[in-house]
Structure 1
């Protein structure tokens, strides 16, 4: 694993040395290093180019200027120097979907792991989304109040598995990193909840003709399979699968099972190297 490549203005990590070139986009309040387990489980098949989002990992803080979704998409697109496979998790999966829409000539395939596109659930199962919103209200209130420590703690707890370490069990630097990253959550609310970018307008998703795999964990929040299956129904060349026993953090908690599904996707779509 190589840790030291910087592409201005964000930090970029390279993992693995396989022939397949993959752009890997992490979730909110994580960092690029979380892809190490999946890289290892891919057993030498791929080289992952993994940026840190602004306010995450080794990248600088976001200054609050501009649209965070636009900025993240732009920085990520700059790393698509050739046709590549893209893997994104959570908000990173939203970026991956947008790359597939806006740069189809550079995205060979996409794996969307628990994309947080709540606007899909608003259309397909508003009752399920309402339950999610009720569960999320405590951290949403903390964000509005400016209590970033409480917001990060509640956000992490909602999206973590039961076996994940509790807030007080984490290292101080881990807690600090989550507190640093959590302000971007409200910055993308309109994009993920209200379809601010218009992905769900008639005909837009039809542009994603490349193979797309959508993954959910069987123990994740019930809104996630609604989103995953809803996107599968709207994308022209998409499949949907689940990682048994996993929650939202499935590429981190279940890297071997995730890698198996990804490898099978690459093989069955004729994309094996």
Structure 2
């Protein structure tokens, strides 16, 4: 089963958009509206999110999420846009099918393995350990609060409507399940960064965590054709909180990538 996908527009240019962990495909609404006409955007729910089936704990997480995205790929060439965990899936598409991916947009990518060797990797592992302890103790709400304190928008879990809180608490195990993919690079993405041929946009929030900046530093060094922007006043949830500048940068990338 490959699950559900939202679609916007009927333009000639095909775009695939992959959301972050604990969200769903509707998270792209603001960016899509700001991009305007001329596009056909497909945004699948990643496994374990929205209307997609749950993850299989017995399988590599990145493999199964990637495989579930494949049935939603547009025909022919397309632009791949990803946020956070979704950015790691978009990167994998660009590495594994370079002839299909016209351009690549990576928004706050969380491929932590790319930051290994930097001065911020170990401090981040220590920072996230409180979330991991809370989850191991079975306190899912406190684990979600701690995780969103680091990675969510202002206000965190407590400022969200009750239904949205429950949605995130119910899926908080996905974060720990992604460790092999993000910290240990189970898909082998980091060694293949230099193989990305698509023009690539790297987006970070101006208030991003240091580990995110280190990841993007590595990608900027090793991917041949990159443009990097920082959105002032934004954090990790920049495509949701600041869709207009993100869409403007994506539109510029589309204009120069044919």
TM range (shorter): over 0.9
Listed as ranges, the gaps of 5+ residues in structure 2 are none
Give the distance between the partners of 1:211 and 1:183, measured in 2 at CA: 34
- Size of the aligned set, in residue pairs, is 257
Give the distance between the partners of 2:175 and 2:234, measured in 1 at CA: 23
Give the distance between the partners of 1:151 and 1:220, measured in 2 at CA: 20
- Summarize deviations over 1:11-52 as a string: whole Å, max 9, x none: 111123333211000000011001000001002232210111
Cα pair 2:61 2:181 within 8 Å, conserved: no
Give the distance between the partners of 1:137 and 1:200, measured in 2 at CA: 23
- CA, structure 1 residues 166+121, in 2 after alignment: closer, same or farther (shift >3 Å)? closer
The answer to whether structure 1 residue 220 and structure 2 residue 213 are counterparts is: no
Cα pair 2:106 2:201 within 8 Å, conserved: yes
Per the alignment, residue 4 of structure 1 pairs with: none
- CA, structure 1 residues 178+260, in 2 after alignment: closer, same or farther (shift >3 Å)? same
Normalization by structure 2: what TM-score? 0.93
Per the alignment, residue 20 of structure 1 pairs with: 13
Deviation at 1:153, TM superposition (A): 1.9
Per the alignment, residue 37 of structure 2 pairs with: 44
Give the distance between the partners of 1:255 and 1:221, measured in 2 at CA: 19
Report the aligned-residue RMSD. Answer: 1.6
Listed as ranges, the gaps of 5+ residues in structure 1 are 1-7
Deviation at 1:103, TM superposition (A): 1.6
Normalization by structure 1: what TM-score? 0.88
Per the alignment, residue 88 of structure 1 pairs with: 82
Task: Report 1:1-273 matches (<5 A).
Answer: 8-80=1-73, 81-123=75-117, 125=118, 127-162=119-154, 165-201=155-191, 204-267=192-255, 269-271=256-258
Give the distance between the partners of 2:95 and 2:230, measured in 1 at CA: 24
Cα pair 2:208 2:234 within 8 Å, conserved: yes
**SS state at 2:146 partner:** helix
**SS state at 2:198 partner:** coil
Deviation at 1:223, TM superposition (A): 1.4
Cα pair 2:199 2:257 within 8 Å, conserved: no
**SS state at 1:265 partner:** helix
**SS state at 1:194 partner:** coil
